[in-house]
Amino acid sequence: MIYLVVVWLRFFNSFQTEANLRGLENKEIKLMGKISSEPILQGSSQKFKMGRIEVRVKQYPKYEYGQNVQVFGSLQRRETNRWYSVFSLMYPDIKVIEADRVKFIGFDWKEGLMNLRRRVEKVFNQSLPEPEASLLAGIVLGAKRGLPYEFWQALQRTGTLHIVVASGYNVTVVIGVVIGYLAGWVKRRTAVMLGILAIIGYTVMAGADAAIVRAAIMGSLIYFGQVLGRKADGVRLLIVAVMGMVAYEPRIIWDVGFQLSVMATSGLMFVGPLLETVFKRVWLVGGDMRDTVAAQIGVWPILLITFGNLSVFAVVVNSLILWLVPVVMGLGGILGIGGLIWQPLGQVMGWLAYVPLTMMVRVIEWFGSQSWMSWQVEGISWWWGLGYYLVLACLLIRRSYGKQK
């Protein structure tokens, strides 16, 4: 009950901002503030956020997260639905404001982490060709900033875009590595706490998209539960994470990344175990196939409705490449750290990482160029998706009910 009130209040609050902004539509506005997201490169332009407003400017000069800027232009609105629209400024006049000297007394953690991330990306870019370099940045850091457009399309067509989204897997690796290395040095409790801190740092570095935030909350809770001696229940953790995120920002339910992340996780949890018997027998990639099918069952209506295409053979492509992801993450991590210390060391690691990366790239590009890979279906209503999820939920409930009997 209290929760509902909180959500409602937050929702009301954001609706107010929206209404205020709507009043300014098509008017010349002058905006002063910090760039609040990592700028993303798209063709010959770059895009970043300043709070609720998206700003698109030319590719150069480059802007960075955290810079203080002043923009002047006409406010555009693009409606997503009745309650939510995207506000943007297209190619406004933009000026960097020299940072306040006073601010530099304190250390901005977020800016420090973003800096680290930029330096790691630079190491990747200097030791590997494209698109391998940005695929690596995507897998390790969830960075989509530099992905060549054609390769991005191939990822989407083959249903493999999720590998460049930092998510649960990255969280598992980060905390696993921290705890693994600290075990024996410090008490387990301390190790877990440091691991959780590392997750938070990583989440910020990866741009704090919905998917990684969800994974970070769930991951931290699992390990936190371990310290308290409580067993983790995936379903409950997912519900807690979702409720927390919605309470913090109700509009997130219209964020496609959030929808996909939640439904894919649900698919893994509810549908995955049912498929176990079928895929158990498949050698090497059986587990990957099971997970892909389960996640696909969870997300395909969202993909179909939002993007209008369906990757029919996503399971095949995913089975071919998913087993390489941990290898790439490991090598990418070593490359990032090694390269920061000494570039030639990074170069050698880069060559090693090139092997699995180029295998992935070849597979994705080949399948992405096949016309039978994805089907275009336009104009499906949300009601179909809702109906699908209802039917799916009924089937799952009946099944578990039958088992109990």
Q: Could you say whether residue 367 binds another protein (CB under 8 A)?
A: no
**Window contacting another protein (CB under 8 A); options: 7-15, 57-65, 202-210, 385-393:** 57-65
Q: Could you say whether residue 327 binds another protein (CB under 8 A)?
A: yes
Q: Of residues 205-244, which lie at the interface with another protein (CB under 8 A)?
A: none
**How would you classify the pairing of strands 53-58 and 40-42?**
unpaired
**CB of residue 43 to another protein, shortest distance in Å:** 5
Number of residues that bind another protein (CB under 8 A): 32
Q: Could you say whether residue 156 binds another protein (CB under 8 A)?
A: no
**How would you classify the pairing of strands 53-58 and 84-90?**
parallel
CB 292 within 8 A of CB 315: yes
Cα gap 48→38, rounded to integer Å: 6
Instruction: Let me know if 284 is exposed, middle or buried by CB neighbors in 10 A (0-12, 13-18, 19+).
Output: exposed
Tell me the helices (H) and strands (E) count for the chain, helix number first. 15, 9
Cα gap 346→328, rounded to integer Å: 14
**Window contacting another protein (CB under 8 A); options: 149-157, 187-195, 201-209, 212-220:** 149-157
Q: Could you say whether residue 121 binds another protein (CB under 8 A)?
A: no
**Window contacting another protein (CB under 8 A); options: 59-67, 174-182, 334-342, 390-398:** 59-67
CB 49 within 8 A of CB 37: yes
**CB of residue 44 to another protein, shortest distance in Å:** 4
Cis before residue 356, ω within 30 degrees of 0? no
**Window contacting another protein (CB under 8 A); options: 27-35, 104-112, 147-155, 287-295:** 147-155
- Residue 353's DSSP bridge partners are none
**CB of residue 371 to another protein, shortest distance in Å:** 16
**CB of residue 181 to another protein, shortest distance in Å:** 16
**CB of residue 232 to another protein, shortest distance in Å:** 23
Cα gap 389→306, rounded to integer Å: 16
Taking CB under 8 A as the criterion, the residue among 96, 243, 278, 355 binding another protein is: 355
What is the SS3 assignment for 40?
A: strand
10 Å Cβ neighbour count for 60?
Answer: 8
Taking CB under 8 A as the criterion, the residue among 6, 173, 198, 352 binding another protein is: 352
19 HSE (CA, 13 A, CB side): 6
**CB of residue 81 to another protein, shortest distance in Å:** 31
Q: Could you say whether residue 119 binds another protein (CB under 8 A)?
A: no
Q: Could you say whether residue 129 binds another protein (CB under 8 A)?
A: yes
Q: Could you say whether residue 322 binds another protein (CB under 8 A)?
A: no
Measured from the CB atom, the residue of 348 and 393 that comes closer to another protein is 348
What are residue 300's phi and psi, to 5 degrees?
A: -60, -35
Q: Which residues contact 239 (CB under 8 A, 6 or more apart)?
A: none
**Window contacting another protein (CB under 8 A); options: 5-13, 65-73, 204-212, 349-357:** 349-357
Q: Could you say whether residue 87 binds another protein (CB under 8 A)?
A: no
Cα gap 133→358, rounded to integer Å: 10
Q: Could you say whether residue 344 binds another protein (CB under 8 A)?
A: no
What is the SS3 assignment for 156?
A: helix
Binding site for another protein (CB under 8 A): 41, 43-44, 58-62, 122, 125-133, 146, 148-151, 327, 347, 351-352, 354-356, 358-359
